[in-house]
């Protein structure tokens, strides 16, 4: 008898995250109601829709959790107090939300992870490096692609309880919101007595994720025809996201754009205030024949023109 879809998905997610160096932990489903205050939740936040425990043993475990993040941050704090440095945890578990009086609470399955401290220890071949946003983002991206999701977007988020708005994003696939990732806000870190430490977390709604995971993965044969590569170096406003430019390239290029890669980012004194330089490598390839230079050049110029019109960017000289 086969496993249920939830169990199979959990096993796949756990396998990928463990392969990325994260350790699975299990934290208490009973938490303190102060956890919402520690995350900086407003009065009307869904994270305050606690299910209260009858006759709790302690106030610190008097309600059911509405997020996995408090438990993960508590685990980070406890390990840091024991001089552990490279911390990478994840948890699969239920969160609970109170509904109207007399009705059963709403239960959702969530998977969340945290990274804090040292990402890479010092060795003879490298220097010590702390965890940063791109480590947690890369882990999520690898997880989703490992599950078979081909279209994954990370969009900068304006505000989310417990997150630093400047370093956080929403995670989407084919227009569906899967969750969020980013740096834990300084206020939340102070609440957990880790004000000198940075931590990065992600949260994914398993129900939304399951709806995007393909049932079967099909092999696509490699093209028999050679690729043509072109680079674009652009100057754009710092508020322009590279993901948006990559979407424009794919949209305009259609089936002839096999891949787009951001390979360089520069923000410095050589540029005007508020500007940044982005460089993309585009791989053009046809499934039906060899692309000639004239066809590629026309398409490449049309892509550059589309970027100019949509973003106000311009080519970087030299």
Three-state DSSP at 291 gives coil
Report the CATH number that the domain containing residue 109 is assigned in CATH.
3.30.930.10
C-alpha to C-alpha distances, 3 to 6, 7, 8, 11, nearest whole angstrom: 8, 6, 6, 10
Say if 219 falls within a structural domain.
no
**Domain with 301 in it:** 228-315
Say if 110 falls within a structural domain.
yes
Considering the domain architecture, whether residues 204 and 90 belong to the same structural domain is answered as yes
Considering the domain architecture, whether residues 202 and 239 belong to the same structural domain is answered as no
Say if 86 falls within a structural domain.
yes
- Determine the pLDDT at residue 44: 86
Considering the domain architecture, whether residues 161 and 259 belong to the same structural domain is answered as no
- Residue 316 gets the label, from left (phi > 0), alpha (psi -120 to 50) or beta, of beta
- Determine the pLDDT at residue 318: 57
Sign of CA dihedral 19, 22, 28, 32: negative
Residue located via tokens 């552990």: 84
Say if 218 falls within a structural domain.
no
Mean pLDDT by 10 residues, the chain (318 residues): 72 96 95 93 90 90 94 96 93 92 86 94 90 95 92 81 91 90 95 93 95 82 89 91 90 92 89 90 92 92 93 82
- Domain-terminating residue out of 210, 244, 260: 210
- Determine the pLDDT at residue 174: 83
Instruction: Report the number of distinct structural domains present in the chain.
Output: 2
For residues 225 and 256, is the Cβ–Cβ distance under 8 A? no
What element of type H or E holds 99? none
Report the CATH number that the domain containing residue 288 is assigned in CATH.
3.30.70.380
Considering the domain architecture, whether residues 188 and 246 belong to the same structural domain is answered as no
- Determine the pLDDT at residue 158: 62
- Determine the pLDDT at residue 3: 58
d(CA 184, CA 199): 6
Closest CA to 188 of 110, 299, 77: 77
Whole-number CA gyration radius for the chain: 23
Say if 72 falls within a structural domain.
yes
Q: Structure tokens of 238?
A: 């710092």
Residue located via tokens 């993901």: 243
- Determine the pLDDT at residue 1: 42
Say if 91 falls within a structural domain.
yes
Considering the domain architecture, whether residues 54 and 145 belong to the same structural domain is answered as yes
Three-state DSSP at 300 gives helix
| pTM, 2 dp | 0.86
């Amino acid at each position: 008898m086969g496993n249920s879809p939830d169990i199979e998905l959990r096993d796949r997610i756990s396998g990928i995250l463990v392969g990325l160096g994260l350790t699975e932990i299990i934290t208490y489903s009973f938490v303190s109601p102060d956890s919402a205050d520690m995350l900086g939740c407003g009065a009307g936040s869904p994270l305050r829709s606690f299910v209260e425990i009858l006759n709790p043993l302690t106030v610190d475990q008097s309600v059911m959790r509405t997020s996995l993040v408090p438990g993960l941050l508590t685990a980070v704090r406890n390990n840091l107090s024991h001089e552990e440095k490279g911390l990478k945890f994840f948890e699969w578990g239920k969160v609970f939300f109170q509904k109207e009086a007399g009705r059963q609470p709403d239960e959702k399955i969530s998977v969340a992870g945290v990274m804090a401290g040292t990402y890479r220890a010092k060795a003879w071949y490298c220097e010590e490096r702390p965890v940063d946003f791109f480590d947690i983002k890369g882990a999520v991206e690898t997880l989703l692609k490992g599950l078979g999701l081909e279209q994954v977007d990370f969009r900068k988020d304006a505000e989310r309880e417990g997150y630093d708005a400047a370093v956080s994003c929403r995670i989407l696939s084919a227009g569906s919101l899967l969750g969020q990732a980013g740096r834990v806000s300084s206020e939340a870190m102070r609440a957990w007595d880790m004000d000198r430490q940075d931590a990065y977390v992600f949260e994914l709604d398993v129900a939304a994720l399951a709806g995007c995971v393909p049932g079967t993965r099909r092999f696509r044969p490699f093209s028999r025809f050679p690729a043509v590569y072109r680079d674009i170096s652009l100057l754009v406003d710092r508020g322009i996201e590279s993901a948006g430019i990559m979407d424009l390239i794919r949209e305009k290029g259609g089936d002839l754009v096999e891949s787009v890669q951001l390979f360089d980012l520069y923000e410095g004194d050589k540029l005007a205030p508020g500007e940044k330089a982005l460089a993309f490598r585009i791989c053009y390839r046809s499934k039906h024949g060899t692309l000639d230079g004239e066809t590629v050049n026309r398409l490449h110029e049309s892509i550059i023109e589309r970027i100019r019109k949509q973003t106000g960017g311009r080519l970087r000289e030299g």
